[in-house]
Structure 1
Amino acid sequence: MKQFIVIGHLARTDGDFSLNDMPGGAGRMDVLCRCINSSFFLSHNLRRDVECYLVLLGEPDPPKTVLFRGDALRYLSPDERSAGALIKKVLALPCDEEFRESTPGVYVRRGGLEKLLTECSPALLDENGTDIRHMQDLPSAYLLSDHQNFSESESAITDHLPRISVGPAILHADHTITVVLNEMDRREKSSE
């Protein structure tokens, strides 16, 4: 399973936001929705071997983690509003330390990055890391941030992670996911 963990520094942790104002009122939820779409959509198909975790750190009740699982995912269309509606619905559920499902393939629980790092060992996507094209073996899990840099506390708990770069230019989070998946696709195809 390929995994992407995206930190949403301002993303709301309740379903009380308008799908018409995801950049403002939802704390840049639009960035996270684009990451969801980049993680799953192919032309006329979905990637079933991907999980995308959204670590939500905004008001009013942080942190929460939303999980999209490709092998169970239903009702996702290739637009930001569709992903936003699924996030809004899952955030309306009461949650605790275990994932709770709202619609097929969409889950929520309390907890954030520290908890996820006990469950998986991602590489951190960083423009100063090792170029992904120079790596012999690629990790299956990746950590990246939304439109903001990692905070000091996030940097402190991730300083042990390997750092990988997707190229010389700094890309948006959703574009970075696309580049990583493209590199994985190329390697999988060449090994057939």
Structure 2
Amino acid sequence: MILLRSFILKASEGRTAPDFSIKSLAGSGGRMDLVCRCIIAALLSPEPDGIDRGCRITVVLEGPPDPPLSVEFDGAGMDRAPEGEVEAAEMLVAAMAGRAPRGVSATREDFGQAVRRHSREGFSLYYLHEDGEDFSESEFGEKAAFVLGDQKGIDPKGERCLDSMGAKRVSLGPHPYLASHCITIVRGMVP
């Protein structure tokens, strides 16, 4: 039984400065709309306070102007989960500007560092990949970190990092799915 779930999203185009328009997340933000939907999918819960306290998501932003930047949303420490893309974007902007809300932090951690940190913290690593072992037949550790990419996926360097850390490839199906849908499916299948 999983006690703690974490998601690591590699956002290859996500802006690394709070200089994007919240009204144009898909354009000026470098697909920050995708990032925001993933944050919501990871944290929003039907619990009375609206947040999954056993879940966190680390978003590794790799877009301009100054990559990398990792923003982590830890449900255990947050006052509330964002309920929409604009609210999630406002939290991202605040973290980037040094005004992170409670439970949110921003660091200059790159993808490999984020993966290694999760491993050091005792998380078993699972790479969501179309060619992996069938998710429904997989077993997961009590602390599971699920790694996924944005619309570009994980690049070869990122895959080598995951392989070197012993990440197990698991598949939700033979086709690529939206990253936010993958998170929702994982949360539904691994409560």
TM-score of Structure 1 vs Structure 2, range by shorter chain: 0.7 to 0.9
Given that residues 51 and 81 in structure 2 are in contact (C-alpha distance below 8 angstroms), is that contact kept between their aligned partners in structure 1? Answer: no
Structure with higher RCO (Cα < 8 A, 6+ apart)? 2
Q: Relative to structure 2, which stretch is displaced further, 144-153 or 173-182? A: 144-153
Cα distance, 1:71 vs structure 2: 0.9
Q: Deviations for 1:31-90, whole angstroms, at most 9, x for unmatched residues?
A: 010000100112352100111000000111100110001011125431000000000111
Q: CA RMSD in A?
A: 1.5
Q: Call closer, same or farther: CA 1:89–1:148 in 2, change over 3 Å.
A: same
- Residue number in structure 1 paired with 2:40: 37
SS at match of 2:157: helix
> SS of the residue aligned with 1:102?
coil
- The answer to whether structure 1 residue 155 and structure 2 residue 153 are counterparts is no
AA paired with 1:155? E
2: CA distance between counterparts of 1:9 and 1:85? 20
Greater Cα offset, 123-132 or 38-47: 38-47
Residue 179 in structure 1 maps to residue 185 in structure 2: yes
Q: Alignment partner for residue 131 of structure 2, among 115, 118, 128? A: 128
1:82 pairs, out of 75, 87, 105, with 87
What code does the residue aligned with 2:144 have? Answer: S
Does residue 1:25 correspond to 2:33, yes or no?
no
Please list every run of 5 or more consecutive structure 2 residues that lacks an aligned counterpart in the other structure.
120-124
Name segments (4+ residues, structure 1) moved above 3 Å: 136-139
Structure 1 gap ranges (5+):
94-100, 186-192
1:67 and 1:2, CA in 2 relative to 1: closer, same or farther beyond 3 A?
same
Aligned to 1:111: 109
Count of aligned pairs between the two proteins:
178
Normalised by the length of structure 2, the TM-score is 0.88
Secondary structure of the 1:179 match is helix
| 1:55 aligned partner | 60
Identity over aligned pairs, percent:
29
Q: Which segment is superposed worse, 108-117 or 134-143?
A: 134-143
